[in-house]
Structure formats: C-alpha cells, structure tokens
Amino acid sequence: MGVSRSSNEGNGRSSRWRRAEAELGSLAFVALTWGVAAFYLAQPGRSHDLITMWGWIKSVLKLLLVPGV
C-alpha cells in the first residue's frame, strides 16, 4: 500500500517548485510595487500636493497661533 519512491520524489520536486514559485512571485510583487511607489512619489504632481498641503498647514497654524491675524 506504499507510495512509490519515484512518486514521492515527484511530489517533493513539485512542492519545492511551488514553494520557489511562491517565494519568487512574492519577491517580484514586492519589488514591483515598491518600485512603482518610488516612481509615483517622484512625480511632479506629488511635490505640488505636498507644497500645497504645507502652505495650508502653515496658514492654519498662523491663524491659530499669531494673535490678531
């Protein structure tokens, strides 16, 4: 009733292959997404957003903290 040696080897190879595939796929996904994130953050639109937001925060702080404004 045992499983043949060649079948065991096949299963082992296939499971190793699946594991390697999952590792590689995961690595590729992380590399891709972090790469796209870096590219996205480097776009001129983001610096525009950050400058606008910083200006807005400065104005809010000025209104709250500087008397008579």
Q: Should residue 8 be labelled a site residue for another protein when binding is judged by CB under 8 A? A: no
Nearer to another protein, 13 or 50 (CB): 50
Please choose, out of 1-9, 10-18, 28-36, the segment that lies near another protein by the rule CB under 8 A: 28-36
Q: Should residue 11 be labelled a site residue for another protein when binding is judged by CB under 8 A? A: no
Distance, CA of 56 to CA of 31 (rounded, Å)? 34
What does 7-57 look like in DSSP terms, one character per residue? HHHHHHHHHHHHHHHHHHHHHHHHHHHHHHHHHHHTSHHHHHHHHHHHHHH
Structure tokens at 38: 């870096």
Residues that bind another protein (CB under 8 A): 22-23, 25-27, 29-30, 32-34, 36-37, 39-40, 43-46, 48-50, 52-53, 56, 59-60, 62-63
